[in-house]
Amino acid sequence: MYSNNYTLFFVFIVTVVLGTMLSFTKDNVKDLQDQNLKADVQKTILRSLNFEENLLASNESIEQTFKNYIDAKCVNIQGEIVNCNIEEVDIEKNEEVLPIYIRMNNNEIQGIALPVAGKGLWSTIFGYIALTPDTDSVLGIQFYKHGETPGLGGEVEKKWFTDNFVNHPLKKPNGEVKYVPKKIRDNSGKIVSIKVVKGGVDYSESNSASIHQVDGISGATVTADGVTDFLLEDLLRYEKTLDKIRDYGTI
């Protein structure tokens, strides 16, 4: 039998050795991890803004593309530009300083990406929604960080789900179906956001709101409701800014 003192001593030594090993590893790879994380966020922004996949192949090309095409700034809730350190803005809690990423080409706005974040079922979901320059339709949406159940709520980051936001089947009078993006504004120009609908979207004539709705994920109603809630909440924070861009073509 081992004495209590020996047992305590042994456990202590093991803890110190393993702890040292772990902190040594973390210390060595932290910089690389941070770079990966930063590139991943930038990739999400670029992807939501519909950049070609071949521009997003490596961390270097992502950084380059981001530098060349993206105008990143912060606005406040009144739609005025404010100074900020955009990488350190807390997207989830922050309400004073709102980051906005604008895709520019020859001084012309081609798309606007806004961070969105909110509670799903288990975790906070982080993502970016990109809007067309008229701030009416969705250009793309991407989620990059969440802790939802893989296969259920975790499906929010999958292509089939995010594609729902840009593929609205519009029936033309001659019976052909044309795919258009979903709209965040209703006919009067009010921001109504996009609702994730349990089951599937009712595409019959009687459901005039279907352009503001996307299919939900089976088995993940709470996650879907969370997405609906924080999309609306976050888009409304940018209402003044988006109105400005729509009306004047600039902030």
Partner 1 sequence: MELFNSESKKIISDPINVNNPISLQVLGICSALAVTIRLDQAIIMTLAVVFVLCSSNVILSLIRNYIPTRVRIVIMLSVIASLVSVVDELLKAYLYDMSKQLSVFVGLIITNCIIMGRAEAFALKHGPSKAFLDGLGNSMGYGLIIIIVSFFRELFGAGTITLPDGGAGYVLWSIPDSWYAAGYENIGLLVLSPGAFIILGLVIWIQREFAGVEEDA
Give contact residues for partner 1 (rule: CB under 8 A): 2, 6-7, 10-11, 14-15, 18, 21-22, 25-26, 29, 32-33, 36, 40, 57-58, 150-151, 154
Based on CB atoms, which residue is closest to partner 1, 122 or 203? 122
The answer to whether the beta carbons of residues 109 and 98 sit under 8 Å apart is: no
Taking the complex as a whole, the smallest distance from the CB of residue 242 to partner 1 amounts, in Å, to 31
Give the whole-angstrom CA distance, residue 95 versus residue 89: 10
Based on CB atoms, which residue is closest to partner 1, 52 or 134? 52
Based on CB atoms, which residue is closest to partner 1, 111 or 216? 216
Give the whole-angstrom CA distance, residue 46 versus residue 43: 5
The sheet that has 81-82: what strands, in order across it?
81-82, 70-75, 98-105, 108-119, 124-131, 138-145
Taking the complex as a whole, the smallest distance from the CB of residue 61 to partner 1 amounts, in Å, to 11
Based on CB atoms, which residue is closest to partner 1, 11 or 177? 11
Residue 231, C-beta contacts closer than 8 angstroms, at least 6 positions apart: 116, 118, 129, 193, 194
Give the end-to-end CA distance of the chain in Å, rounded to a whole number: 76
Taking the complex as a whole, the smallest distance from the CB of residue 46 to partner 1 amounts, in Å, to 15
CA 38, chain centre distance (Å): 14
Based on CB atoms, which residue is closest to partner 1, 10 or 179? 10
Taking the complex as a whole, the smallest distance from the CB of residue 117 to partner 1 amounts, in Å, to 17
Taking the complex as a whole, the smallest distance from the CB of residue 162 to partner 1 amounts, in Å, to 15
- Residue 1 identity: M
